[in-house]
Amino acid sequence: MQAPVGTTFVGMPAFPDAARDALGDPVLRHNLAHATGTIRDKRARVVAEVDDWEDLRVDGAAVKDTALADLGTHLLALESALTARGARVHWARDAAEANAIVAGIAKGHGVDEVVKVKSMATQEIGLNEALEAEGIAAWETDLAELIVQLGEDRPSHILVPAIHRNRAEIRAIFRDRMAAAGRPAPDDLTDEPAELAAAARLHLREKFLRARMAVSGANFAVADSGTLVVVESEGNGRMCLTLPEVLVSVVGIEKVVPTWDDLGTMLRLLPRSSTGERMNPYTSTWAGVTPGDGPQEMHVVLLDNGRTRALADEVGRQALRCIRCSACLNVCPVYERTGGHAYGSVYPGPIGAILNPLLQGPGSSAWVDSLPYASSLCGACYEVCPVRIDIPSVLVDLRAQVVDAKRIVPDVSAADSGVRPRQRPAAPSPQSLAMKGAAMTFASARRLGLAERFAGVGTSLARRLPWLPGVSAWAGARDLPQAPAESFRRWWRRTDGGRR
């Protein structure tokens, strides 16, 4: 299977290196602390209003697990319902296939621009860049996506991709960049959020009114009715879903819910977890083509791009329940300090730390392998997740998979069982050498006694010589404890367990 492309920002360093840079940026840290603090409070208030919130979470998880357990059946039901209602269904194994389908539709209609509803799936596959390479401009219409696109920046949050920008920075981007993309920002633009929003309204309206083709994702795809659902705030989604002649929706195969009634639970969970509102301003639902209303040509691209890989991982499969609310990012102590860019993906934060390795496979790159360690395992993400994804447990399992991928002696029995393919590394990691050494030492009482005798010497050496190879990585961020003068075993022999 070809590794999916697009999820990674090209040339991303592993998390610890990227995080170090982010931690040195005081503006970023201030912006993030302010924004995540605001959203945490809002979420807590509206979640406290719902008496049976914990039951709702259990039900939300069950809705998605029910869909995933029989995903093939639900996908076929979705396909036939959509087709019956006049939509054309496409299937894409990876990013390249999905991008080619969308570009082909655009070229078939001779359009040189499309308007876009905010969509994680199209971010993941790098659709904008792929369309640009074909001479088609893809205009992001969500306010935060617009800020990122105009600023030639990268998204750093799932819900609010420009969360790392404050109002003054946004004003500067609008003043400097809007003119090159269309209607310029007003001359007297201040950094009042209401004025910034009004500038975006004016800038994008001409694009909405002339656009002939739109590209969206979907928050949910209802299998039994062929209904797609897009949840949004600004009305840019409604513009894209309603005004153009052609609509293409790129939908990850895990977005399926079995029945229309399942939305009763999902639409209670999502807005409260996401923007901290009882309900988001606008939700659009549509089932294929509605004669005389909205786009009369509709395409749905069902996207795999690593999702079946994640589905085959018995522990990690639950990550496919994710409804992209961002609650886990907003409560994560690591995310709050490093921001989203350090994760090197359109999926940052705790969910990104498991989703990227699950989609791409542990052992596929140093960047992927660093992500399961980008966590203190505090568990706050699990507590707020509206579909109860046990992120800490998946992180721990993925750490084991990363270590297995670097084993000195490949675990032959596991490899042969076919449960989880192990990868044979080129060279053993210092960690696996150290573990190998420790295993040998603990296996023999004589070797353990010798090691204990030299432990004091070893640690004091390491304290004095922190640049020693193999010591620096560990000691650079930690204080080594002083080994006791006498080991427990020696004390026991000398005193007969305290009786002498």
Partner 1 sequence: MTSAREEILARVHAATAEAVAPERPALAPSGPVDVDLFAERVADYEAVVERCAPEEVTERVAARVAGLRVVVPDGLPFAVAGSVADDGLVAADLDALDGVVTTATVGIAETGTIVLDHGPGQGRRALTLVPDLHVCVVRADQVVADVPDAVRRLDPARAQTWISGPSATSDIELSRVEGVHGPRTLHVLLTR
User: 14 vs 162, which CB is nearer to partner 1?
Assistant: 162
Phi, psi of 302 (to 5 degrees): -90, 120
Supply the minimum distance, in Å, between the C-beta of residue 312 and partner 1: 4
* Touching partner 1, residues 47-106 (CB under 8 A): 51-52, 55-56, 58-59, 61-63, 65-66, 68-72, 75-76, 85, 91-93, 97
Nearest residue (CB) to partner 1, 303 versus 374? 303
Q: How many binding residues for partner 1 (CB under 8 A)?
A: 96
* Interacting span for partner 1 (CB under 8 A) from 103-111, 135-143, 182-190, 406-414: 135-143
The answer to whether 236 contacts partner 1 (rule: CB under 8 A) is yes
Whichever of 211 and 368 has its CB closer to partner 1, that residue is: 211
Contact flag: residue 227 with partner 1 (CB under 8 A): yes
Among the listed residues 243, 415, 475, 480, the single contact to partner 1 using CB under 8 A:
243
Per-residue binder mask for partner 1 (CB under 8 A), 362-401, x = binder: ----------------------------------------
* Interface pick for partner 1 out of 149, 284, 345, 356 (rule CB under 8 A): 284
Rounded to the nearest whole angstrom, what is the least distance from the CB of residue 183 to partner 1 in the complex? 14
Q: CA 200, 206, 207, 212: dihedral to nearest 10 degrees?
A: 150
Nearer Cβ to partner 1 (279/403): 279
Nearer to partner 1, 113 or 452 (CB): 113
CB of residue 451 vs partner 1: minimum separation in angstroms? 44
Q: With respect to partner 1, which residue has the nearer C-beta, 148 or 391?
A: 148
Q: Where in 250-269 is the site for partner 1 (CB under 8 A)?
A: 253, 260-261, 263-265, 267-268
Binding string, 295-324, against partner 1, x = CB under 8 A? Answer: -------x-x---x--xx----x-------
